[in-house]
Chains A and B, each alone.
Chain A
């Protein structure tokens, strides 16, 4: 079945970087764009950016420009999201989500908790 499986929880110190992975299965990886969305504890959903797994092109939310990098590995059907210069406000659950043919987010990963704490 179609699914996205993310890497496990991370604990990082302020100023460090984190790299979260999202492995796709059950469909043609290069045929669907992938988004990253985060959710701080008790808060709403925040869009971070999008990657085209076919060519690797990306577009990032202005808030994260310069701190986020999204990449992909077509050999393993995996996308990655790296966030640098972490601060406590980056503590959140990070989700990958597939963009459907109709542009909504139809399949979501299970989420990866990233905790930033000294």
Chain B
């Protein structure tokens, strides 16, 4: 099973600043990597797929990069609604999908 490791576990950032979240895979997943945002009491929402493509309706301040085993989600200028938990997920093997443990983005 491919293990996804996210860092940091918690990130404290002020509104208007940039946030950078990391995700590492235990083996190469090519560009088969997605990012999701989850707010309390809600289902996850797809932000990025294919490591760098924004999903429909996702603001341009969200960007993804990386390939192979190292990936980054960047939020260029944090808005109040962006404070949430973010998960990365690999789908390189369609018979086994795994998520990272999540990064909680909190207001500094």
Contacts and interface: CB of A to CB of B under 8 A. Distances in A.
Tell me if chain B binds chain A. yes
Interface of A: 35, 44-47, 50, 59, 61-62, 95, 97, 100, 102-106, 108-111
Given A44-B87, A47-B99, A104 B46 contact: yes
Contact of A59 (B43, B91, B95, B100): B95
A105 B99 contact: no
B44 interface: yes
B50 interface: yes
Interface residues on B, range: 20 to 34
Interface of B: 1, 32, 34, 36, 38, 43-46, 49-50, 53, 55-56, 87, 89, 91, 94-102
A110 B50 CA distance: 24
B81 to A, nearest CB: 18
Contacts of B98: 47
Contact of A103 (B87, B94, B100): B94
A81 to B, nearest CB: 15
